Amino acid sequence: MSAPPEPVPLAFRELGAGPPVFVLHGLLGQGRNWAGLAKPLAEHRRLFLVDLRNHGRSPHHPVMDYPAMAADLEALLDRLGLPRASFLGHSMGGKAAMVLALARPRRVERLAVVDVAPVDYGPRPEFEAYLRAMSAIDPARFARRAEVEAELARTVADPRIRAFLASNLELREDRLVWAPNLSVLRERLDTLAGFPSDLPPAPADLPVLAVRGGRSEYLRPEHEAAFRRLFPALELVTLPEAGHWVHVDAPGALLALLDRFLPRR
């Protein structure tokens, strides 16, 4: 793996006390998307709800790939004075956590990956459509988030997805703006759908939990072999009632799995 660029200082929200756990969102998400699940987890842990680069309150940067995101996470560990931590990552955040665990295994105590595999998924036309729809709207023309959602309805039919996209709106200097770096995310979408191919397997004793949404196409049975090749200690669990947003569709079942797997005080 080639040397990553200089890391960016990631924004985060901290909850609780105990063993450190970093929570990493997916594409077009942000740390606060996991606040509901994080609250009970933080009863026995020190949680960091992280905004990955080009998302949320974290800096924008023209480089957007998994080695760069892993370097950001290692820099955040250093900034917090933590030699290692456990990581919980969904989708894109799960891939970033996996790359860190493969490239810098001594920094990762335990790894929980939610509904994503260490594979190249190829073109993602649905996310290209979401990014295009968001890029076509200047939020500063609107006074309220609901008005932006109504504008999104012209091209995004699913109200749940519209609400998710609109959650990326922020009020800055008295005007609405998109928090993510939409232009870079569109340019690097193929990279984000992929996964580095030059990483060695993780140590055989690194505990890894992968949680699959039974109604999702992201972590399929044919991906298990690639997962186990890189993570020999893999435990794979399917939650039949969940789609890709496992933390939204099956929060209770996911919480039970994570509370058992992640270290606690």
User: Could you report the per-residue pLDDT of 97-115, keeping only the tens digit for each?
Assistant: 999 999 999 999 999 999 9
Residue type, 125: P
Q: Which phi and psi angles does 10 have, rounded to 5°?
A: -75, 140
Q: What is the pLDDT of residues 229-260, one digit of tens each?
A: 999 999 999 999 999 999 999 999 999 999 99
Q: What is the mean pLDDT of residues 133-162?
A: 96
Q: Helix H segments across 171-241? A: 182-187, 189-193, 224-230
| Sign of the CA dihedral with 72 first, then 74, 78, and 82 last | positive
Residue among 140, 181, 126, 134 at smallest CA distance from 153: 134
CA-CA distance, 144 to 153, in Å (whole number)? Answer: 15
CA-CA distance, 255 to 226, in Å (whole number)? Answer: 26
CA-CA distance, 143 to 21, in Å (whole number)? Answer: 37
pTM as predicted? 0.96
Q: In the chain, where does the domain assigned CATH 3.40.50.1820 lie?
A: 11-121+194-261
Q: Are 234 and 98 in contact (CB under 8 A)?
A: no
CA-CA distance, 172 to 164, in Å (whole number)? Answer: 19
Helix H or strand E encompassing 13: strand 11-16
CA-CA distance, 81 to 97, in Å (whole number)? Answer: 18
pLDDT exceeds 90 at position 68: yes
CA-CA distance, 204 to 211, in Å (whole number)? Answer: 19
The pLDDT confidence band at residue 3, using thresholds 50, 70 and 90, is low
Q: What counts of helices (H) and strands (E) characterise the chain?
A: 11, 9
The two structure tokens encoding residue 90: 């969904």
The two structure tokens encoding residue 5: 């660029």
Question: What are the C-alpha distances in Å from 63 to residues 123, 187, 194, 256?
Answer: 19, 10, 15, 36
| Structure confidence at residue 135 (pLDDT) | 97
Q: Are 86 and 262 in contact (CB under 8 A)?
A: yes
CA-CA distance, 15 to 52, in Å (whole number)? Answer: 17
Q: Which fold has domain 11-121+194-261?
A: Rossmann fold (3.40.50)
Q: Are 12 and 50 in contact (CB under 8 A)?
A: yes
| Structure confidence at residue 185 (pLDDT) | 98
Helix H or strand E encompassing 16: strand 11-16
| Structure confidence at residue 27 (pLDDT) | 98
| Structure confidence at residue 5 (pLDDT) | 72
CA-CA distance, 23 to 86, in Å (whole number)? Answer: 9
